[in-house]
């Protein structure tokens, strides 16, 4: 009897592993869809065709969640997403007292736009049957 119990436990553990893998696969599928759309929106808005911003789009899939964002080398993503007010700088050397404007950056909201456009499709992926 102990032998049969062991096999049943082993089978249950295998089912548990398969379900966890299926969940991670769904999370990866949803994250990849979002990353593709985010890159497409960045290109469509004319921000860049290639470069650090696109290279920085990445995701991490953990046990029950996927995190999607823009990291190294695209650290300037927040400036493009939300914009800046007018910025100023001081001159170099003897002109250190002279203040000059370096301009401002308007918000583009490429990340928020992608979240709104992709919400229904991501939810559809996450609610479909696992196996």
Q: Quick one: pLDDT at residue 45? A: 86
Residues 6+ apart with CB under 8 A from 88: 99, 100, 101, 102
Domain count, the chain: 1
Q: Quick one: pLDDT at residue 130? A: 67
The percentage of the chain sitting over the pLDDT mark of 90, rounded to a whole number, equals 31
Residues 6+ apart with CB under 8 A from 87: 101, 102, 103, 104
Mean predicted lDDT score pLDDT of the chain: 85
Counted residue by residue, the chain has a size of: 131
Residue 15 lies in domain: 2-127
* Residue 117 in this model has a pLDDT that exceeds 80: yes
pLDDT, tens only, 32-88: 999 999 999 988 888 777 888 888 999 998 888 889 999 888 888 888 899 998 988
Q: Quick one: pLDDT at residue 40? A: 92
Residues 6+ apart with CB under 8 A from 10: none
């Amino acid at each position: 009897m102990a032998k049969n119990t062991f096999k049943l436990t082993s089978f249950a553990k295998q089912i548990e592993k398969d379900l966890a893998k299926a969940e991670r696969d769904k999370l990866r599928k949803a994250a990849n869809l979002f990353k593709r759309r985010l890159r497409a929106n960045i290109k469509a808005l004319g921000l860049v065709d290639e470069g650090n911003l696109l290279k920085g789009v990445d995701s991490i899939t953990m046990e029950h969640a996927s995190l999607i964002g823009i990291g190294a080398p695209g650290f300037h993503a927040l400036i493009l997403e939300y914009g800046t007010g007018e910025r100023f700088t001081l001159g170099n050397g003897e002109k250190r007292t002279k203040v000059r404007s370096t301009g401002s950056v308007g918000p583009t909201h490429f990340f928020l736009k992608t979240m709104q456009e992709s919400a229904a499709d991501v939810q559809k992926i996450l609610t479909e049957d696992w196996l």
